[in-house]
Amino acid sequence: MCRRSVADDLTDVRGATTWVDQLAADAGLSDDVRYNIEVCLEEALANLIQHGCVLDGRKDIIVAFAAAGRQATITVVDRCVPFDAAREPPPSRPTREDLRVGGQGLRLMRAFSNGMTYRSDGGRNELTMWFDAPASPPPGVNS
């Protein structure tokens, strides 16, 4: 598992997503999976940086990436007030008003990841998202 600190500043989100994208490319993940990872990581970090309330001291944001076989995981660790993005009530079906810019982070994270888990222990929060690459079709079968 590879780890990287992320500054409590929106300007560092691009650096974190670029770093993860390179690791995902090195792991042989497809462009589609890499895009899904980028969308989810950008949303998680932007929400944390913009809305996360520090419990004591600093946010201490860390991103961890791991890939094994056809699955990749991204874990975002912080020291903010707990917020369980994985258990927030699912967004209702979007209305025209819901399709405005902003406020879509949880909906996007649910749509672009294969799942999320959350845990908080001793002032440390961990949001883990996983991404499964689709199985390759058998040789000779067009998809």
**Does any domain span residue 138?**
no
Tokens 């991103």 appear where? 63
**Does any domain span residue 7?**
yes
pLDDT tens-digit readout, 100-143:
445 567 888 999 999 999 999 988 999 999 999 776 554 555 54
**Does any domain span residue 142?**
no
Query: Which pLDDT belongs to residue 42?
Result: 96
d(CA 60, CA 70): 30
Give the confidence band of 84 by pLDDT, cuts at 50, 70, 90: confident
Overall pTM > 0.75: yes
**Does any domain span residue 117?**
yes
Share of the chain above pLDDT 70, in %: 82
**Does any domain span residue 112?**
yes
d(CA 64, CA 20): 9
**Does any domain span residue 137?**
no
> Which residues does residue 77 pair with via DSSP β-bridges, in sequence order?
62, 126
Domain of 91, in residue numbers: 2-132
- What domain count does the chain have? 1
**Does any domain span residue 22?**
yes
CATH of residue 8's domain is 3.30.565.10
Share of the chain above pLDDT 90, in %: 67
Residues in the chain, how many? 143
The residue ranges of DSSP E strands in the chain, in sequence order, are 2-6, 61-68, 71-78, 115-121, 124-132
> Which residues does residue 66 pair with via DSSP β-bridges, in sequence order?
73
Q: Choose between 97 and 79: higher pLDDT.
A: 79
**Does any domain span residue 143?**
no
